[in-house]
Amino acid sequence: MRLFRPILSLVLILVTTLLVSCSSPSQAKIPTVYTPEKIAQLQPFREPVATAREQMETLKGFIQAENWTNTRTFIHGPLGQLRQDMNVLSRKLLVKDQKPAQDLAKELFGHFERIDAAAKDRNSVIAQSQYLEAVKDLEAFLNLVPSNS
Ligand code: ZN
């Protein structure tokens, strides 16, 4: 029994591995292009991120007006949900696009943190340059997501 049990579990592992490798899709079946169905499925998840791109114009206005209270409130309020939205959307992209999308989201939030810090310091130059960087990353992210509009 002492010897039998490890052998039994080894056999089980082998059988499971075999079953998994037979049933899992082969490398060739991992989609590498967006089908029209996939693009349609992505749209509801793309929408809040595209809306955030539009909302960035409001943020720009606050920064240009040096309205630091509204700048900070806006980053934590209306744009606060964006991180979650981008993470969800990233995971729905093709495998090859997921990592670049996640990296861009991470970058974007780094810029938001620096805008927030600049607003605290009332540093208009840094706030404006970080804003431009943030827009670049958000647009690059959106460019990874096919749109049907
Ligand atoms: Zn960046």
**Distance of CA 107 from the midpoint of ligand 1 (Å):** 5
**Distance of CA 136 from the midpoint of ligand 1 (Å):** 7
- Please say if the pLDDT value at position 25 is more than 60: no
What global pTM score does this model have? 0.79
pLDDT confidence of residue 33: 93
Q: Helices marked H in the chain — which ranges?
A: 4-23, 36-64, 68-76, 82-92, 95-120, 124-144
- Please say if the pLDDT value at position 127 is more than 80: yes
**Distance of CA 34 from the midpoint of ligand 1 (Å):** 26
Let me know if residue 20 belongs to a domain: no
Contact 72, 114 (CB under 8 A): no
Let me know if residue 149 belongs to a domain: no
Residue 48 contacts by C-beta under 8 Å, 6 or more apart in sequence? 81, 82, 85
Contact 141, 112 (CB under 8 A): no
61-88 average pLDDT score:
96
Cα gap 107→32, rounded to integer Å: 25
Q: Give the domain extent around 102.
A: 34-144
Let me know if residue 11 belongs to a domain: no
Q: What are the tens digits of pLDDT across the range 100-121?
A: 999 999 999 999 999 999 999 9
Let me know if residue 128 belongs to a domain: yes
**Distance of CA 98 from the midpoint of ligand 1 (Å):** 17
Let me know if residue 29 belongs to a domain: no
Let me know if residue 3 belongs to a domain: no
- Please say if the pLDDT value at position 15 is more than 80: no
**Distance of CA 69 from the midpoint of ligand 1 (Å):** 23
State how many domains the chain has. Answer: 1
Let me know if residue 22 belongs to a domain: no
Contact 85, 49 (CB under 8 A): yes
**Distance of CA 105 from the midpoint of ligand 1 (Å):** 9
CATH number at residue 71: 1.20.120.290
